[in-house]
Amino acid sequence: MKTFNEIKSEFESKNYSLSDLKKGVILYSVIRFLFTEMFTFLVSTIPFLIGIGIITSLYGFTAGTSFFYLIIHLLFYVFYVKGVYKKQMKPTLDEVNMVIQALKEIKKEKSIK
């Protein structure tokens, strides 16, 4: 993982315009959302929603089945997905946050000049 100063100097060396920096902040903000824990939770919910949809279409809706799927998803998320998120996605999220901060600082410095 790069340090903040490495990221900032890398973007400064490319001499982007103010509009390019604004577009970069917006693009990296979208990317940051894709690496949040909430987005990961929502994506991990999709297979369970498909499963409950299939069960519901075959046997009809029951509160017990829905509760079972809810508990299974929460256990899956807490014991597996959260661990994978912390190991693989959190460092990327931290780096994206540093890129956004560096772009904002460069944009601020250029707008003052």
Question: What was the pLDDT predicted at 110?
Answer: 87
Output the pTM of the full model: 0.80
**Dist. CA 8–CA 103, nearest whole Å:** 7
* Mean pLDDT, residues 44-53 taken together: 91
3-class SS of residue 17: coil
Token duo for residue 54 = 């299939």
Q: How confident is the model at residue 15 (pLDDT cuts 50, 70, 90)?
A: confident
25 contacts 97 by C-beta, under 8 angstroms: no
**Dist. CA 71–CA 92, nearest whole Å:** 29
Of residues 19, 14, 10, 13, the one with CA closest to residue 107: 19
Residue 80 carries which side chain, given as an amino acid letter? Y
32 contacts 100 by C-beta, under 8 angstroms: yes
Tell me which DSSP letter residue 62 carries.
Answer: -
Token duo for residue 92 = 């990327």
Question: What was the pLDDT predicted at 59?
Answer: 87
- For 52-98, write each residue's pLDDT tens digit: 889 889 988 888 888 999 999 999 999 999 999 999 999 999 999 99
- For 28-46, write each residue's pLDDT tens digit: 999 999 999 999 999 999 9
Domain limits, the chain: 4-112
**Dist. CA 76–CA 73, nearest whole Å:** 5
